[in-house]
A and B are shown apart, each in its own frame.
Chain A
Amino acid sequence: MTILAFILAGTLAAATPLLLAALGELIAERAGVLNLGLEGMMALGAAVGFVVAYTTHSHVLGFAAASVAGIALSLVFATLALGFMANQVAAGLAIGVLGLGLSSLIGKPLESQTLDAPGKLAIPVLADLPVIGPLFEQDVVVYLTFGLAVVIWAVLNHSKLGLIIRAVGENPHAARAIGFRVLRIRLAAVAFGGAMAGMAGAYASTIYTPLWADGMIAGRGWIAVALVVFGTWAAGRIVFGALLFGALSLGGLIAQAAGVALPSQLLASLPYAVTIVMLAVISSNRRRMRLNTVASLGQPFAG
């Protein structure tokens, strides 16, 4: 396997957990809620997903349980941020810490245990193409995630549901005046974000690296939050950012294996830094930022 084939084959899978979490966060933020608890929700989803998949030998049940756990934690956040109109930044940080703690607690008995990863699914014809063939030999969740990105783009831009979500995020007062139940819509958006974060965690712990290690989410929840903001709340740019991060983290592994004379910690941190810098450059277009920024993001709404 060439280096290029290795990167092509691995990038999509490396991008998948980020993309799952970021797409959920995109919906929550488009509705006007900043959920900074994403890292904790992913960590909780990872632990619950691993424990359930380990005990039931079913990845499907693992994903289902992880999404339920993500929803449950996001509802705690929603209670604070929407119900009691708490500061969304503080509430999100607190919930994030809670999620990380719960994750360690739940995963503790299974430390260093492993799972069987599900098999890969090669798409006929496409997987046999020269050079880009490895892109089309992935596990099923990867295909579903990238399909979901298209669905979410279409919903946000071309459906009434998307219009409602964007309207609530841009101007909750006007949305209420014309008769939308702002808090209910925001609650649903936050819960969706929680479910997606939970599944993102489950993907990381049961498929991408099917081994339980405490702290395995390793900041990917934060990168997902950054992807949404620096991707200027547009699904396409978020996908780009996730792929960039995925490719860079594989590049780091290759560089390490090839014995590049850089400390491994530095190599491991590069994808985070480069992704943020790249996205910051993309989002420095003020016009695009202004047109896409969610006007009411992070502001409590009394409804």
Chain B
Amino acid sequence: MQRNAGPEPERTGQATNSSRENLVEGENSGPAGREAQYAQPTGLLRRAFALIDRNLAYVLPAPAAIVILLLMGYPFFYTVSLSLQRVNVTMTRFSFVGLENLLEVLTADERFLNAFLITLYFTVASLILELVLAMIMALVLNRTFRGLGVIRTLFLLPLVATPTATSVIWLIMMEPSIGILNHFLEVAGLPRSLWVAGDTSVVPSLVWINAWHGVPFVMLILLAGLRSLPTEPFEAARIDGASKLQEFFQITLPLLKGAIVVAMLFRAIDTLKVFDAIWIMTAGGPGRRSETLHIYSYLTAFEFYDLGYGSAVILVFMVIILVISAVLIRLRQRAWL
């Protein structure tokens, strides 16, 4: 606080230090306490150390705070300012246009609206599919058996596998004429699908891939939730003769509400942000049938090199993510009250 007041911090430092040393001496009788005193560095070094030690709450987070401010805070405000400008393709002329970009994104850009609706469709469908699949799996896995750890890890592999690589393999497997998934469909007596090449099948295919990636995470959280449930309500229900189905809908589900909201919160954030899989498999196509907000942001900024307008699109995309997250965080707080 009064860093250049000279003796001031020294005195306070000694005050706290000596009180701690007294405490030490009080606790350990004699030699041990004195040894600890000798081990302390002396003079300036010691005072500097004491100063740091007393202000750890500021010292420790400072480097991270600086990095985050520099790497994220600065670019964020730069994006805001860019969204108010028109930038030419070679990035040599920047002219201020005010809210023109933002207004165009929000009111006149049909492509943005399309991207918004597709993102919504993709995210909601993914979350529903993931929740249902993960719930079934968690209920099945909710018991103790040999090999639980290994099997749980095997289920985690889709979560950690490199999305770029798995997207490429999905693309090969979903190839319409000779891909293996169509072969499986045929064996099962179902009609072939165009998968990501079809106008109507593209988003469901991507939802499927996203769920394949996300279900393990949701299942982990639901499983942890299931394992921490109290047993009394279930015993009571069994005595009252409740069916398994009733038990699930009236006891398990309400008790799991917190875990469900948390899992959905994290998956919603991740699904809104999916880029790799969609860019690699469809790049937004066919037409604009799978052009999500993230893909559209990327296209305007880094394919058309319209950095001003692109920044405006990115800014709106960001606000949408923050609003949806804030709503889910509120929900989560309420779920846990």
A binds B: no
B contact set with A: CB distance below 8 Å = none
A contact set with B: CB distance below 8 Å = none
